[in-house]
Amino acid sequence: MKLIAIFCLLFFSIFNAQPKETKPEWIKIADGLAFPEGPAWNEDYGLFVSNCYSDWILNINNDVPDTFVVQPTKPFNFSKTNGLTFDTNDILYACDFGIGAILTFDMNGNCEVLIEGYEGNKFNRPNDLAFDNKGNLYFTDPKSYGKEMLDGALYKYNLESKSLLQVDNELAFPNGIAFNLDYSQLYVCESVKNRILVYEFDNSGKLKSPNVFVELPGGDPDGLAFDNEGNLYAAHFGGGAVYKIDPDGNIIEKIITPGKKPSNLEFGGKDFKTLFITEDETNAVYKTNWEVEGLKLIR
Average pLDDT, the chain: 91
Distance CA 209, CA 119 (A): 22
Is residue 35 a part of any domain in this protein?
Answer: yes
Give me the pLDDT at residue 11, please. 41
Contact yes or no for 214/249 (Cβ under 8 A): yes
98 vs 195, residue with greater confidence: 195
Contacts of 165 (CB under 8 A, 6+ apart): 155, 156, 157, 158
Can you give the residue range of the structural domain that contains 70?
Answer: 25-226
Residue 252 lies in a domain: no
Would the pLDDT of 55 be above 70? Answer: yes
**pLDDT tens string 213-231:** 999 998 899 999 999 999 9
Q: Is residue 234 part of a domain?
A: no
Q: How many domains does the chain have?
A: 1
**What is the predicted pLDDT for the residue at 145?**
86
232/47 Cα distance (integer angstroms): 20
Reported as a single tens digit per residue, the pLDDT across 172-194 is 999 999 999 999 999 999 999 99
- Domain assignment present for residue 281? The answer is no
Q: What is the CATH number of the domain that holds 170?
A: 2.120.10.30
Amino acid identity at 132:
D
Task: Pick the closest to residue 237 from 264, 214, 255 (CA basis).
Answer: 264
Domain annotation covers residue 10: no
The pLDDT of residue 163 is above 60: yes
Query: 289 in a domain, yes or no?
Result: no
> Per the domain annotation, does 257 fall within a domain?
no
In a domain, 232, yes or no: no
For the chain, the first-to-last Cα distance in angstroms comes to: 60
